[in-house]
């Protein structure tokens, strides 16, 4: 193993964090109160009762709570505060570059405009870059449980932000099984047409099969895969990922909390290293899954004691290389 201090000080890049998933229970009630949002019948009344609900049998059980949580985020200031608090926490854990996901549809469906969402997030990015000397990017995700035609509308509503680079990347999240990447080919094509520099990723192979990872690569033309742990079932695919340097954004505590695996030691991480498949270590929805990025690093260090300084150094190098910051910034990191 390696000392905790070494893990703390590693220059970390976060590529997989849903900003709505950084909403702490305390903030959830605070935002609900100040926005006069009434939470649904039977919703826990206290912070303690709410936190006691953070046990999930699968992705869907989590998402059901996550979307209720997202419903209290309303104003530009809310989005700003939420993201700024995340950047502050991340910087304190050694994050030097953070790419954050956001789900515009979980807001526009409540008549919160994409302008409100993006303005608040962008302001937080700028402020955090100044205050914490980090770099940031925004990745807009499409909700795959909604109709592709709805996702197309989201792309249209985000057109100017895609064109001017405010939105640096496009992703795909929410309920995976039964919603294959193939449904979203047109969405990805249209978005890429608006800006050839738009970066592409997609959640695949979290609960869904390895074949969804292949679809995401071949049909959506993504350059990165979020989660992707199911690729361990397919040796040919592992070889391809290594060859094409497709990075997986791994979220260990998430995978345990959503019961995708029993324990982080069951993740195929050693297999990824042995095949030379690059991956980064991320927090996904840290407010709900019991830890931010450094907690994920600590957990892996405990369960992979065979990883020494060299292996950790390799993981961190891969995650810098797989980042969507410019080449000069990568050099500096």
Please list the residues that pair with 101 across neighbouring strands. 18, 139
Q: Which residue is nearest to ligand HPA (CB)?
A: 173
| Residue 206 contacts which entry, Zn ion, ligand HPA, none (Cβ below 5-8 A, type-dependent) | ligand HPA
How many amino acids of this chain bind ligand HPA (CB under 6 A)? Answer: 11
- 104's CB contacts (< 8 A; 6+ apart) are 114, 117, 118, 140, 154, 157, 158
207 vs 215 by CB, closer to Zn ion? 207
Beta strand spans in the chain (E): 12-18, 95-102, 135-143, 169-173, 199-200, 203-204, 224-227, 247-250, 279-281
For the CB of residue 128, give the shortest distance to Zn ion in the complex, in Å: 21
The answer to whether 285 contacts ligand HPA (rule: CB under 6 A) is: yes
For the CB of residue 292, give the shortest distance to ligand HPA in the complex, in Å: 15
24 vs 206 by CB, closer to ligand HPA? 206
The answer to whether 284 contacts Zn ion (rule: CB under 5 A) is: yes
Give dist(CA 159, CA 165) in Å, integer. Answer: 10
In angstroms, the Cα distances linking 19 to 80, 140, 184 are: 11, 11, 22
Residue in 27, 171, 284, 292 binding ligand HPA, rule: CB under 6 A: 284
DSSP string, 41-57: TT--SSHHHHHTT---S
Among positions 215-254, residues that touch ligand HPA (CB under 6 A) are 254
Tokens of 98: 């953070």
| Residue 21 contacts which entry, Zn ion, ligand HPA, none (Cβ below 5-8 A, type-dependent) | ligand HPA
Binding track, positions 3-22, relative to ligand HPA; x by CB under 6 A: ---------------x--x-
Residue 24 is a catalytic residue = no
Residue 11: CB atoms within 10 Å: 14
Residue positions annotated with a catalytic role: 206
Binding residues vs ligand HPA (CB under 6 A): 18, 21, 59, 66, 173-174, 203, 206, 254, 284-285
């Amino acid at each position: 193993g390696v000392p905790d201090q070494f893990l703390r000080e590693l220059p970390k890049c976060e590529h997989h964090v849903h900003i709505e998933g950084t909403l702490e229970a305390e903030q959830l009630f605070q935002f609900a109160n100040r926005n006069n949002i009434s939470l649904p019948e039977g919703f826990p009344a206290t912070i303690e009762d709410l936190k006691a609900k953070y046990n999930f049998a699968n992705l869907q059980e989590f998402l059901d709570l996550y979307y209720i949580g997202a419903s209290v985020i309303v104003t530009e200031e809310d989005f700003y505060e939420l993201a700024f608090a995340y950047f502050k926490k991340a910087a304190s854990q050694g994050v030097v570059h953070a790419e954050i996901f956001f789900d515009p549809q979980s807001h526009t469906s409540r008549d919160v405009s994409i302008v409100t969402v993006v303005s608040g997030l962008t302001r937080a990015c700028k402020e955090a870059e100044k205050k914490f000397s980090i770099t940031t990017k925004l990745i807009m995700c499409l909700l795959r449980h909604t109709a592709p035609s709805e996702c197309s509308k989201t792309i249209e509503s985000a057109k100017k932000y895609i064109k001017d680079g405010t939105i640096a990347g496009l992703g795909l999240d929410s309920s995976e099984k039964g919603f294959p990447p193939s449904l979203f080919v047109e969405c990805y094509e249209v978005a890429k047409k608006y800006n050839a520099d738009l970066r592409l990723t997609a959640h695949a192979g979290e609960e869904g099969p390895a074949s969804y990872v292949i679809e995401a690569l071949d049909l959506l033309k993504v350059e990165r895969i979020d989660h992707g742990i199911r690729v361990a079932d397919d040796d040919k695919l592992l070889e391809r990922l290594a060859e094409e340097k497709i990075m997986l954004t791994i979220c260990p505590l998430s995978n345990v909390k959503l019961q995708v695996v029993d324990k982080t030691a069951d993740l195929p991480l050693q297999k990824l290293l042995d095949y030379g498949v690059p991956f980064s270590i991320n927090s996904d929805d840290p407010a709900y899954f019991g830890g931010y990025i450094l907690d994920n690093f600590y957990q892996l260090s405990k369960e992979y004691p065979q990883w020494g300084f060299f292996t950790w150094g390799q993981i961190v190098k891969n995650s810098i290389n797989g980042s969507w910051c410019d080449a000069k910034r990568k050099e500096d990191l």
